[in-house]
Amino acid sequence: MYIKEKKYIIVITVLVVIVLVTIWYFRVGYLLRKPEMPNANIEIQTQMVDGGTINLRYADYTENEIKVGYEVKGFSLKENNISCKLYNDGNLISTSGSTGGGLIELDEKHYYFVGIENIDENVLPDSLNLTVEIIVIPNDSGQKSIPASFNVSVDKERGA
């Protein structure tokens, strides 16, 4: 009996360790993974501006919204705000001027932003000559804002 009890204790101990490691991974380890930047769906456009880099990586246009994704390197969000405005053929189509869709912090001074503009009220053509204006706005009012503009053509995607 003594050997059989020993085997049960070993099996139970191994199962407890496996369960604890699994719980740790999903509670803590999963959160420790480094976030990844989403894949680009357009040819990446890059601008070097005042010690930093801004890359337009994503543009999507559907019945209800325009979504852009852009990478910002070299600017701290503690010292700067980031704004995004969208234009079609020079006409402003965004109202908020904010990123609105989310932020992925990739590293120190390295971010990926998603800008979303709902277009329920706007009547826009099936194809846009989109200008994406990304503005780095220093918190110090004595410094000038840093704009970067990108042009991309996007076609409206139809839902299935």
Residues near 131 by Cβ (< 8 Å), separated by ≥ 6? Answer: 86, 87, 88, 90, 149, 150, 151
- Give how far Cα 90 sits from Cα of 24, 87, 93, 103, 132, Å: 52, 5, 9, 26, 10
Domain covering 45-155 assigned CATH 2.60.40.420 in the classification: no
Radius of gyration in angstroms for the set of CA atoms belonging to the chain, rounded to a whole number: 24
Which pLDDT does position 99 carry in this prediction?
A: 58
Which of 156, 148, 158 lies closest to 67, judged by CA? 156
Mean pLDDT of 59-66: 86
Between 89-98, 109-118, 121-130, the lowest mean confidence (pLDDT) is in 89-98
Summary mean pLDDT of the chain: 83
Mean pLDDT of 28-36: 67
pLDDT at 12 over 60: yes
Count Cβ neighbours within 10 Å for each residue of 123-160 and write b for 16 or more, e otherwise: eeeeebebbbbbbbbbeeeeeeebebebebebeeeeee
